[in-house]
Amino acid sequence: MKLLDILRRAFFWPGTKLTEKLGIDPESEFGLLRSLFNSLIWTAVGLAIVFIVIF
């Protein structure tokens, strides 16, 4: 269970840090902005990996 908690925190870390920098409590807005930021960041990371593998 501790490993799952560490993985969860690592996965949500970018969105949590961005919402904190914007002055928004990550827990108060029900995770909508955090989810948006996480989706954008992890999509960009995934695309970068795909382009590196293909080219």
- What's the domain count of the chain? 1
| In the predicted structure, residue 3 carries a pLDDT above the cut 80 | yes
DSSP string, 22-53: TT--TTTTTTHHHHHHHHHHHHHHHHHHHHHH
Domain that holds residue 34: 2-54
Average pLDDT over residues 6-10: 90
Share of the chain above pLDDT 90, in %: 40
pLDDT value for 4: 93
pLDDT value for 48: 97
Radius of gyration of the chain (CA): 13
Task: Please tell me the distance from the alpha carbon of residue 34 to that of residue 21, in angstroms, as a whole number.
Answer: 12
Q: Which two tokens stand for residue 40?
A: 């954008």
Q: Which two tokens stand for residue 44?
A: 């960009």
pLDDT value for 39: 92
